[in-house]
Structure 1
Amino acid sequence: MNNVQPRGQWATRIGFILAAAGSAVGLGNIWKFPYIAGQNGGGAFVLVYLFCIAIVGLPIMISELMIGAHTQKDAVGAFTFLEGKRSPWRLAGWFSVAAAFIILSYYSVVAGWTLEYVWRALQGAFVGQSPEAIEGMFGGLIGDGTRQVICHFAFIALSLGIVIGGVHKGIERWSKILMPILFGLLLLLFINGMLSAGAAESLHFMFYPDFSKLTPVSVLEAMGHSFYTLSLGMAIIVTYGSYLSKGSNIVGASLRVALLDTAIALIAGLAIFSVVFAVGMQPAAGPGLVFKTIPIVFSKIPGGYFLAILFFLLIAFAALTSTISLMEAQVAYLIDERGWNRKAATTTLAILCFIVGIPSALSYNMLGSWTPLGDRAFFDSIDLVASNYMLPISGLLISIYVGWFWKNEQDKKEMLAASPAWVYSLWHFMIRYITPLAVAIVLYAKVKESGLFAYIASLF
């Protein structure tokens, strides 16, 4: 396995933008953002979310791209390059690579659900069915361990097939195919929504800020999602940044990725809420919005058969663009730090992620009685650890390191030389004071909400 590999590079700027945007545009945009916006009152939540993208998401994304582009290394190797092999700052890299591995292991399970629903949509399984029958389909899926494992395997295999091709011939080439298709599918669904009877209500819900519905929990949710949706703290952005040349416009690239990600989240919300309102249903449906509510909606409207196919193809493509980036973040570590060739690294990681993800696939059926953290199933427990703890810790470490401990100011200024001087000053102020404080607040709130403090106290 110890074959020295020439380091991959993006062939074009648009290739990098599409790949990085593909990483950010995932189930978090098409699935999670609409339902958390629905649960937190719509327009006011959206405004807070956009503000949080600016003060939390963008500064950390710029920092991660800087680290990658400056060192031309994976997330662990970057901190080794900057601080040496004995530096405790390598922990930030380890945290992010470990988070990518854990998240891919269960994210691919959820992604597998989208393949199942594409197949059901093609079969016309939702047409003419009662709401109770459609809701029962989702329960039947997560209750079937064998089907879950097969779907999980299929998605890991799809990701393997793309990542094994490398940066240019694999990830970049497929991003140029998958992302335009994703945009096209979303645009068709958006146009359909804007032509429906629920369009006006959807626009009002998404963009009219009713601050009476905004709670402290809503603000924390917006802050947390602004961090998660841009794929921060998962070693992805550092890795993708390492395939950039050092003269790249990092601020411009970060803005384009963030704008694409945010635009798709908003358009997806409008597309979904318009058809939900058109049939008199409510948007605050929680996680079941996509896999329960939306199929019911499509069963009631003209052209629902074709719209269901388009919709589930859309979220399947969105999930795939994210899983390939999660896998690449880990593959880069094995290639850079361990000297593995890409084929061996990708295949080994795919097998390991599949195996580690099996308990998540069985969490609501064969392993339903196993609750590692409190009353949470294995799937919910591992998601809690990765999303609520590992990602914020990783982001906090990166923001503190770049703001306070990366001593060579000239290196940082050179990385942002393509932008006006005031951009560097603003970013540096944010990454030193505002961003780490915001991430620390989110981390504290998540730990408190999970009951970890009470659990630790009970041990003494």
Structure 2
Amino acid sequence: MTSPEIDAPPTREKWNSNIGFVLSSIGGAIGLGAVWMFPFTVGKYGGAAFLCIYLLALLFISTPILITEFAIGRKTELNYVSALKKLFPGKRYHYVGYAGLLVMIIVLSFYIGISGWTIAYFFKSVTGSYSGMESPQVIESFGTFLNQPYSLVFWEFVMMVLTVGVLTKGIQNGIEKLCKVLIPALFVMIIILVVNALQLPNAHLGLEFYLLPKFSALTPEAILAAIGLAFFTLGIGVGNMVAYGSYMAKEQAITSNAIYIIIGNLFIAFLMGLIIFPSVFSFGIEPEAGPPLVFIVLPTIFANMQFGMVFATIFFLALFFACLTTTIALLQAIIIYFTDELKWSRNKALAILGTGIFILGIFQVLSFGPIAHIKLFGMSIFDLSNYFVSNILLPGSGLVMVLLVGWFSDPKELLAEINTGNGMKIKTVYIVTIKYVTPAALVLVYLQSLGFIKF
């Protein structure tokens, strides 16, 4: 790795505090996947036995990639595309950065709309609009909501305005200040919901499903599911954390902070399972994954629970906080390409990209209802976008990133950056994982996502 004449902005803003950086990164990585995928997958594939495999995947796949992204960002003080140009002069390796940029734009275009639903359901909970409803009525209510185009676009617009509004304040006064409030508040609200869920009748049945080790479920499919979950739920491998790393000071610890961030996200996701499974088993409802869990199953439970609307309000507010910190991280990672590479002002980038992604998001969010009949390759616009990102671009981008660092450069050069500053130092373990373990695991994930490995 060498560096041509691509310079970082001379007055690049830095994180004001390490705790602000850690909380902002936790917020950027946590999201809806922690709510509607992690708990269900853990319960399905072996409970505590699966968790052991998942923890190993976090250690040997997620942690090296997150460390790598932070190191690339801090070393270059640039966005992912420009960073790859600087680290690999005269090569075309930076094209993988464009793939990462495309992933983030597509993901944000559908994530912003779905995140808006959390605001809508927060107000539905405050007003008690679905209080006392049974499952068929809640399903009908959600179906009606998905077929109201003006409402869907309005909530998407609100979410985008909030996201852009925070980012206009910059790193210290925008992202960092907000996350110092929202992430601790998120933890407190989740713990309140956990305490309530654990006191429900038959809560122990949910805990058994979620946590009781089921070693017979640890099939090759389960192991690949653990690897994929460790990779996908953190949203790493496309350079979004390169953006946050580019604002790190040299004295900040990369390895230690990466571990704190992964533990924080794991803790939130784990606690979500302690909310969901005691609740669904207490009310005799079949647990599901995806949007139905959040917008049908849980509202049905809250609707028939004592003080249910209070807990529903807390839940959807917590979910909104998690979504907002994620949309902020995604849009921040997108706009810095345009501010670094094209020298746009921050406000210009936010105005143009915020508007463009909002327009793309209209088609995404309407594909759940009003334009669900429009099919491309037999899939709705959202399903096609999700498939393209999750099965092709995301695992492919992550694989290329670790190959570039491990095989197309000397990883010891990046290791020197990793070990600069405070905190834990790593040596051989990083070289081995980034060259062998992480790429091998991602190859398996990629082959499965493309359909070459089936069970």
Fold similarity call, TM over 0.5: yes
Contact 1:38–1:285, Cα closer than 8 Å, also in 2: no
Conservation of the 8 A alpha-carbon contact between 2:157 and 2:358: yes
- Preserved contact between residue 142 and residue 148 of structure 1 (Cα < 8 Å): yes
Deviation per CA, 1:111-164: give whole Å up to 9, x if none.
111111111111112211121001111111222222211111111111101111
Q: Residue type matched to 2:75 in 1?
A: H
* CA deviation after TM superposition for structure 1 residue 285, in Å: 5.3
* 1:23 equivalent in alignment to 2:28: yes
Distance in 2, Cα, partners of 1:261 & 1:339: 34
Change (3 A) 1:214 1:142: farther
Whether 1:357 and 2:361 are equivalent positions in the alignment is yes
* Local SS of the residue matching 1:340: coil
Q: 1:368 to 1:284 in 2, by over 3 A?
A: closer
Contact 1:29 1:268 in 2 (8 A): yes
2:199 matched to which residue of 1?
195
Deviation at 1:51, TM superposition (A): 2.0
- Bigger Cα displacement from structure 2, 357-366 vs 106-115: 357-366
User: Partner of 1:409 in structure 2?
Assistant: 412
Write out aligned runs for 1:273-312 (5 A).
273-284=277-288, 287-312=291-316
The count of residues paired between Structure 1 and Structure 2 equals: 445
Asked if 1:55 is matched to 2:60, the reply is: yes
What secondary structure does 2:132 align onto?
coil
Cα distance in 1 for residues equivalent to 2:221 and 2:203: 28
Q: What's 1:437 paired with? A: 440
Identity percentage of aligned residues: 33
What is the TM-score normalised by the length of structure 1?
A: 0.92
Q: Which residue of the partner structure matches residue 121 of structure 2?
A: 117
Deviation at 1:77, TM superposition (A): 1.0
What SS does structure 1 have at the residue aligned with 2:131? coil
Residue in structure 1 matched with residue 5 of structure 2 by the alignment: none
Q: 1:449 to 1:276 in 2, by over 3 A?
A: farther
Encode CA deviations 1:48-82: one digit per residue, 9 max, x unaligned: 22221112111111111111111111111111111
2:135 to 131, 134, 137: 131
CA distance in 1, matches of 2:401, 2:202: 43
Instruction: State yes or no: 1:156 paired with 2:135.
Output: no
CA distance in 1 between counterparts of 2:411 and 2:384 reads 40
Equivalent in 391, 395, 399 of residue 394 of structure 2: 391
The residue identity in structure 2 corresponding to 1:36 is T
1:253-277 deviation digits (Å, cap 9, x = unpaired): 1000000000110011111111222
- The 5 A counterparts of 1:143-182 are 143-182=147-186
- Letter paired with 1:295: P
Structure 1 Cα separation of the partners of residues 330 and 344 of structure 2: 18
Shift of 1:208: 1.7
Distance across 1 between alignment mates of 2:174 and 2:375: 38
Tell me the residue number matched to 1:219: 223
Q: What is the aligned counterpart of 1:264 among 264, 268, 291?
A: 268
Who is 1:244 aligned against? 248
Q: C-alpha separation between the residues in 2 aligned to 1:54 and 1:376?
A: 35
Query: Aligned partners of 1:127 and 1:45: how far apart in 2?
Result: 36
Q: Once the 2 structures are TM-superposed, how far is the Cα of residue 195 of structure 1 from its aligned partner?
A: 2.3
Does 2:352 match 1:321? no
Contact 1:239/1:329, CA 8 A, preserved across alignment: yes
Residue 420 (structure 1) shift: 5.9
Counterpart residue type for residue 442 of structure 1? V
1:9 counterpart SS class: coil
Alignment of 1:13 with 2:18, yes or no, is yes
Question: Deviation at 1:429?
Answer: 0.2
Matches within 5 A, 1:90-101: 90-101=94-105
| Distance of aligned partners of 1:286 and 1:36 in 2 relative to their CA distance in 1, 3 Å threshold | farther
Q: Cα distance, 1:449 vs. partner?
A: 7.0
Q: Which moved more, 1:109-118 or 1:277-286?
A: 277-286
Using the size of structure 2 for normalisation, the TM-score is 0.93
Structure 2: state its 5+ residue gaps.
Answer: 1-8
Distance 2:53 2:391 in 1: 19
Distance 2:215 2:290 in 1: 20
Point out the more displaced range, 48-57 or 191-200.
191-200
Alignment-mate amino acid for residue 144 of structure 1: Q
- Counterpart of 1:80 in structure 2 is 85
1:151 & 1:48 partners in 2: Cα distance? Answer: 38
* Counterpart among 42, 48, 65 of residue 43 in structure 1: 48
Distance 1:340 1:50, change over 3 A: same
Shift of 1:299: 1.7
Give structure 1 stretches of 5+ with no counterpart.
452-460
8 Å CA contact retained: 1:38, 1:284? no
Are 2:72 and 1:67 equivalent residues in the alignment? yes
Does residue 1:448 correspond to 2:451, yes or no?
yes
Q: Distance in 2 between matches of 1:48 and 1:411?
A: 28
- Output the aligned Cα RMSD: 1.9
Secondary structure at the residue paired with 2:385?
helix
2:130–2:303 CA contact under 8 A, matched in 1: yes
The reply on whether 1:255 has 2:296 as its aligned counterpart is: no
The answer to whether the aligner puts 1:341 opposite 2:345 as a matched pair is yes
Equivalent residue of 2:369, what SS? coil
Higher helix proportion, which one? 1
Mean Cα deviation higher: 59-68 or 37-46:
37-46
Please give the secondary structure, in 2, of the residue aligned with 1:448: coil
Pick closer, same or farther for the CA change 1:154–1:251 going to 2, 3 Å. Answer: same
Q: Go from structure 1 to structure 2 and tell me whether the alpha carbon gap of 1:366 and 1:281 turns closer, same or farther (over 3 Å shift).
A: closer
Q: 1:402 & 1:413 partners in 2: Cα distance?
A: 13
